[in-house]
Amino acid sequence: RKRIGWDDETIVALYTGHLYPWKGVDTLIAAGVGLPSQVRIRIVGGGPRLSELDARAKESGAACDFIGQVRHDDVPIYLAAADMVVIPNSGKEEISRAYTSPLKLFEALAAGKAIIASDLPSLREALDESVAILVSSDDPGALRNAILSLANNAEHRRALGIAAAARGSHHGWEARAEAILAFIRKQ
């Protein structure tokens, strides 16, 4: 946290990735309205929507800080500094519901972080309730409640992080390559 200028007292819910509408950042901003002052949502990502989303967050009073785009090599620093990772994909678009396999999800697993994610088939391929809190997609209230739940329970954050790290070991590049080879050999 010192390396990126974050204090130790703030509980950080982190989002990393693109700011496309189907990624659910709009819902995450809405979930930030009404969070207590010691809880912040920090959004690492850039693109053409950055200024619009930052302005919307400020206007609504959402507890959101936009970091902007960082080098991919620096993403692990932000993951290490976070208390939890949020993957709020929208269920409104088919790419998000059925076809995405977000690398940021696997990075969060590998980092051993507590995860809050939308309960979508595409994310359930890697997640279940043993490694993440799954919430209804596009529901700011459910997302806010999950953030608050983890913010108020360090032991649950720690347990989910340990489970995430264990799950992440099954989704590394080598494990994925082995699964692909096994599939090809069956053909």
Q: Where are the beta strands (DSSP E) in 25-159?
A: 39-44, 64-68, 84-87, 114-118, 132-135
State yes or no: pLDDT of 101 exceeds 80.
no
Q: Specify the range with the lowest mean pLDDT, choosing from 7-11, 173-177, 178-182.
A: 173-177
End-to-end CA distance of the chain: 49
Mean pLDDT of the chain: 94
Q: Model pTM?
A: 0.92
